């Protein structure tokens, strides 16, 4: 007589635990090699996401416009230099207006001696008071100081455009050369000087020194690596 089959029991493992079925992990099926939740599939998925992010960042970087180049730093002009040159230029402009009015009206309005070495009338009415017999010296001085009053204003000193710096320097050099010519004419040709003309000459000389100093110091110009050290 055949004996009944005994039910199959799990084989006991050392430590009292039950054996697990092959292909399971704690009762849960292990994903196959092609699964997306396994170790290999997870690594491949992470690698694909990383590559996709890198390609996305590269495409955004390529579409982004190039950054503007950094502007060089400009050496600031001291406030005392701005105000001093502007006040001098305004003073020269005022005296030039006074001399121009006297030229077209009467030299008698000048509060100045008419005798001796200091003789404003002798200077302002001489043939040498006209350049080439056409342009009054007083009008040229007025035009010069109109420009200098604008070029030495605090707003003009803050302009970093190089032509402004060169125009200011070139104008004051030309003005100083003309002043030397006028001084030579007064001292050696007319043997007389004009008091108000001399005031204009002194102002021009001061402006010349200050503007040349500012240009040599590099005020208003881009700083170089050597000047920052």
Contact 142, 181 (CB under 8 A): no
Q: Note the pLDDT tens digit of each residue in 95-120.
A: 999 999 999 998 888 888 888 899 98
pLDDT score of 225 more than 50: no
CATH code assigned to 79-220: 1.20.1440.130
Q: Note the pLDDT tens digit of each residue in 27-75.
A: 555 555 544 444 555 555 555 565 656 665 655 555 555 555 555 677 8
CA dist 131 and 98 (Å) reads 19
- The better pLDDT of the pair 50, 121 is held by 121
Q: What is the pTM of this model?
A: 0.67
- The better pLDDT of the pair 27, 184 is held by 184
Contact 211, 85 (CB under 8 A): yes
Where in the chain are the domains?
79-220
What three-state secondary structure class fits 74? strand
CA dist 23 and 107 (Å) reads 120
| Helix segments in the chain, DSSP class H | 39-63, 79-104, 120-124, 137-151, 154-157, 162-185, 195-217, 225-228
Q: 21 is written with which tokens?
A: 């079925």
pLDDT score of 126 more than 70: yes
């Amino acid at each position: 007589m055949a004996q009944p089959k005994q039910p199959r029991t799990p084989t006991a493992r050392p430590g009292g635990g039950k054996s697990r079925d092959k292909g399971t992990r704690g009762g849960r099926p292990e994903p196959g090699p092609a699964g997306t939740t396994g170790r290999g599939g997870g690594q491949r998925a992470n690698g694909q996401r990383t590559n996709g992010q890198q390609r996305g960042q590269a495409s955004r970087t390529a579409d982004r416009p190039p950054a503007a180049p950094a502007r060089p730093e400009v050496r600031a002009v001291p406030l005392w230099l701005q105000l001093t040159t502007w006040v001098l230029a305004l003073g020269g402009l005022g005296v030039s207006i006074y001399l121009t009015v006297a030229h077209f009206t009467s030299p008698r309005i000048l509060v100045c001696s008419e005798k001796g070495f200091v003789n404003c009338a002798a200077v302002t009415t001489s043939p040498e008071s006209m350049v080439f017999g056409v342009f009054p010296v007083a009008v040229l001085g007025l035009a010069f100081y109109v420009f200098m009053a604008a070029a030495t204003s605090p707003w003009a000193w803050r302009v970093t455009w190089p032509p402004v710096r060169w125009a200011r320097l070139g104008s004051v050099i030309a003005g100083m050369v003309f002043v030397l010519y006028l001084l030579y004419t007064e001292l050696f040709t007319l043997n007389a000087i004009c008091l108000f003309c001399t005031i204009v000459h002194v102002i021009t000389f001061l402006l010349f020194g200050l503007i040349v100093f500012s240009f040599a110091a590099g005020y208003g110009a881009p700083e170089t690596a050597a000047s920052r050290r």
